[in-house]
Amino acid sequence: MKDRIQQRARDLGFDACRITTASPPESHPRFQQWLADQRHGHMTYLQRNSSKRLDPDRVLPGAKTIVTLAVSYGDSPPTPGSPRRTALAVDSTPSAPTPPAGPAGVLARYARFTDYHQVLAHPLQALARWIDQLGGPGTRSLWYIDTGPVLERDLAQRAGLGFIGKHTNLIHRHLGNWILLAEILTTLKIEPDSPEKNRCGSCTRCLAACPTAAITAPFQLDARRCISYLTIELKEPIPLELRPAIGNRIFGCDDCLSVCPWNRFAHAGALMKNHARADLAEPDLVELLALDDLGFKRRFAGTPILRAKRRGFLRNVCVALGNVGGAPALPALQRCADDPDPLIAEHAGWAIRRVQARARLTGDS
C-alpha cells in the first residue's frame, strides 16, 4: 500500500513522499520552550493552536498516519566552471526582463513563482481523495500546505523526508533545501518509513551567513531577528537596529539556504518549474514605490507577495532604498514620506535620512 501511495504522489508531480505515524512529534518540549522564550515574536497563532501542533489527533481525530511530501523549487546544479552564486544573487533566465536602471530588490526565491499554495492544492487534494478511496468507507484524510497546525518539519524528518539543518529548515539529500512541504493526515494505517538522521556534520555556513544573527546557535532560531519574519510576518515597524542588515531584501531572505552545501543536488521540480515569474527576478525598487493599493494587487496577483499587503511591502522597499538607494530615489521616497499610512511614511523618512547621509559622505547630489 505504501509503495502505491508514493508512486501516486510521484505521478501527481511531487518530488518526494515519505510516511510516518500520527503520534505526537518528539520535539514538542523544544517547541514549547521556544514559545515560552517568545522567540515566535508576533506570530501569535503559533501559541494559540500549539496544543494541536503537539498532537495530530487534535487536528484529525482518529489519525493514524501522516504522509509527508516535498516539492522542489530549485535549479539544476550549476555546471563546472559556472559562476558561483552569492547569498544576494538573483536568478537570471533567458526570458528575464532587462535589468532595472535603478537599484533592484531581492525577493526570496519561492516568491518568484506563482503562489505555491495554488500550485500544490489540486495535486494534494487529488492524492488525499485517492488515499480515502484506497482505504475504503470511513477513511478520512486532511491535507495542508504549511498552513495547518502541525509541526511539519519535525514530522517530515521522522518520516525520512529529510533532516532539519542547523538553520532549522528541512534539507533533502537529493533536493537540497529549496523545497516546499505539504502533508496529509489520514485515518488509514500505513507502514511508516524510517527517520532521517542529521547530516549537517561540522558545517556552520548557515550560521555565519545570517545577516541578523537570527540563528542564535545550531538548530535554534530567534524569529524576531529573521529577515523573513521582519519583512513578511511582522506588521509593525521594523526595529531600527535591524534595518541596515536587511540590505536590499524586500520579501523574505534566502541567505542561510543559499550557502547550504546540500544544494549541489538541487534540481528544478516538476510542479514548480513552469510557474516561475521572470518579472520578479530583479524588481526596480523606485518603481515599486509608485504602486497604489490596486497597482500592488495587480502587480503581484497570484504570488506569495500579496501576503505582505501594500503597506508592509512598501515599508520593506523603503528600508531597501535606505540601504542601497542613491539621490535619484529621493523624490519617490519623499512621496512615500507623505503617504497616509504612517508605517510607510516613517520608513520612508528613515530611508531619506540614510540616503542623504550617504550623499554627504560621498559628495553625491
Which positions are annotated as active-site residues? Answer: 146
AA letter at 90: V
| 290-294: Cβ within 8 A, 24+ apart | 290/332
Say how far apart CA 39 and CA 126 lie, in whole Å: 36
The x, y and z cell numbers of residue 333, run together, are 521616497
AA letter at 217: A
- Residue 328 makes CB contacts below 8 A (sequence gap 6+) with 102, 286
HEC per residue, the chain: CHHHHHHHHHHCCCCEEEEEECCCCCCHHHHHHHHHCCCCCCCHHHHHCHHHHCCHHHCCCCCCEEEEEEEECCCCCCCCCCCCCCCCCCCCCCCCCCCCCCCECEECHHHHECCHHHHHHHHHHHHHHHHHHHHCCCCCEEEECCCCCCCHHHHHHHHCCCEECCCCCEEECCCECCEEEEEEEECCCCCCCCCCCCCCCCCCHHHHHCCCCCEEECCEECHHHCHHHHHHHCCCCCCHHHCHHHCCEEECCCHHHHCCHHHHHCCCCCCCHHHECHHHCCCEHHHHCCCCHHHHHHHCCCCHHHHHHHHHHHHHHHHHHHHHCCHHHHHHHHHHHCCCCHHHHHHHHHHHHHHHHHHHHHCCC
Say how far apart CA 40 and CA 118 lie, in whole Å: 26
Tell the burial category of 101 from Cβ atoms under 10 Å away from its Cβ (0-12, 13-18, 19+): exposed
